Amino acid sequence: MKGKYTEEFEARLRKHYDELKWLYYELYHSDEQAFEYFCGMLNQYYEDRPAYLKESDRYRESHPDWYRGNDMLGMQMYAGPFAGTLKGIRGHLDYISECGVNYLHLMPLLLSPAGRSDGGYAVADFRKVQPELGSMEDLADLAKECHDRGMSVCLDFVMNHTSEDHEWAVRARKGEIEYQQRYFFFDNWEIPNQFEKTVPQVFPTTAPGNFTWCEEAGKVVMTTFYPYQWDLNYANPTVFNDMTANMLYLCNNGVDIIRLDAVPYIWKMLGTNCRNLPQVHTLVRLMRMACEIVCPGTLLLGEVVMEPSKVVPYFGTLEKPECHMLYNVTTMASTWHTVATRDVRLLRHQMEAVFALPKEYMFLNYLRCHDDIGWGLDYDFLKSFGMEQVPHKRYLNDYLTGKWYGSDARGELYNDDPTLGDARLCGTTASLCGIEASEYEKNQEKLDRAISLDIMLHAFLFTQSGLPILYSGDEIGQLNDYTYHEDPLKSDDSRYIHRGNMKWDEAELRTDPETRQGRIFQALRKMEKIRNTCGVFNEKADTWILEPYNYHILAIGRYYRGEKLIALFNFSEYDETAWINEVEDYRDLMTGEPRAARAVGVPAYGFVWLITSFRNEAEET
């Protein structure tokens, strides 16, 4: 190996070489030729990496916690609905900066077939941008300007499958065995039927089953998600090599964070549920090492939709890490459960589980995203309060779609399965909080309450350790967009209700404190600035749950380097009291006024941030 590569690349490769080779050989049966090709491919992408990105890599290598500060704030968006094109996003970077955002998550924008894209998650070419959005050069230019402004860029990497229109799939349909081996093709239904005995269905109502008959090839192909999304066979080293190359190509075009989409699904084995198999972790570890060799400034964000205790393996270990960050999906779902029930006990239980995890584990936290809300709650815990799974899910969906008497929430169901009594939920944060219904009724009292709930939920988001991310439009309380019902390519997917076009005319109202847009925008900016400047929001802070003796109030404590925060969140539509009794002298972070942390009154759907300092007594090192 010595002398074969440049000094920098060789040093990085040497650091990982033994483990890289061992894992690769274990997974691919000591395929020396494939491994040598893999190493050569890594070197090629290192050589092709732009100089400014290499410089950024070196800085981030020497500052490995660059993404962990409490000044980090993300925003997630679809390029088209937000600004029409990638160039359009560049034209709105001042607005994004004004929002306090320094982590920009661009939703899928690679080439996908119209009407069979699953929102961009059926990729036909990993190296081409959807033409109406721009080009790969436009993506690289946007990323470069983001970097110049101190922003990092995240992009989805759909690694479990390709579109049936991808070149590999087209050639597989024509009967080329080499390309059929990149997927899961079967001559008849015998083996697929055996898989079906143990593999759950992802979308049992809209896309039942895990296999599809391919008429042109005369064979059965595995399609876990939708019939037009063909699962890749990662047991074939060519698939892993080429998909890693696709990932590194995106990195070399300025992408800082790779969101590994549906990562638990990427290894298939007969007789299992084809989820979270050990080989998945080997693949993610190999990809982590590939990034650390070629582009060490890159982060891996794992999309793993499970409770925190079960997603932990995707962090790897401190010695052999896998993902840098994971989604905190269960806290998001538990939050909306709490909105519907006004009872914080499940959310409290959820937060206790998160707080018990090592501080090295970093979560990406959010209230809403591009996807639906799935009710993957701790039903064993809820059962102790008499809540049974099926009727409770029905209640949550009835409440958050406004069917429940007295509810002002306005959402829609997704993948409703009457047989199982199950459905997921869609809607913007503002509409689920009741803002849409209040404005429709022109009821100012209701509107004030709904805006308070929206702001309180964001305060809770900012109080959690990790990286908070906003869904574009939430910063101005954007409402549901029902026009998708009129689009034949979207009408059967209710997730488009919260994927509407950015309302730029409404964004113009963000400085007017008399408007819904201004009230939410200004409140969020104030909280973001407080979070940026107060060390107690640092992700290394000690965190715990306090007992407020009130099931409507969630009480969280944080401590970091001599500062202590008491955060109280009222999920009730009535004023409530947190029966705490903290002896120190506190200050209200939102008003700046002194305030005792004893029997604290919290207004309906309101929150309180109280802070005290021990810095005269504690070391500040």
The residues annotated as belonging to the active site are 261, 303
> CA–CA separation, 243 vs 156, rounded Å?
13
Cβ-based neighbour number of residue 222 at 10 Å:
23
> CA–CA separation, 164 vs 318, rounded Å?
39
> CA–CA separation, 171 vs 103, rounded Å?
38
Nearest to 54 by CA among 105, 9, 2, 104: 9
Nearest to 81 by CA among 503, 427, 470, 431: 503
> CA–CA separation, 520 vs 113, rounded Å?
37
Cβ pair 503, 473 in contact under 8 A: yes
Rounded to a whole number, what is the distance in angstroms from the first to the last CA of the chain?
43
Cβ pair 339, 457 in contact under 8 A: yes
> CA–CA separation, 505 vs 388, rounded Å?
45
Q: How far is CA 368 from the centre of its chain?
A: 9
Q: List all residues 6 or more positions away from 429 whose beta carbon is below 8 Å from its beta carbon.
A: 367, 368, 454, 457, 471, 474, 477
Q: What are phi and psi of 563, to 5 degrees?
A: -115, 140
> CA–CA separation, 375 vs 618, rounded Å?
43
Q: List all residues 6 or more positions away from 426 whose beta carbon is below 8 Å from its beta carbon.
A: 372, 373, 411, 412, 413, 414, 494, 495, 497, 498
> CA–CA separation, 613 vs 621, rounded Å?
15
> CA–CA separation, 133 vs 126, rounded Å?
15
Cβ-based neighbour number of residue 218 at 10 Å:
12
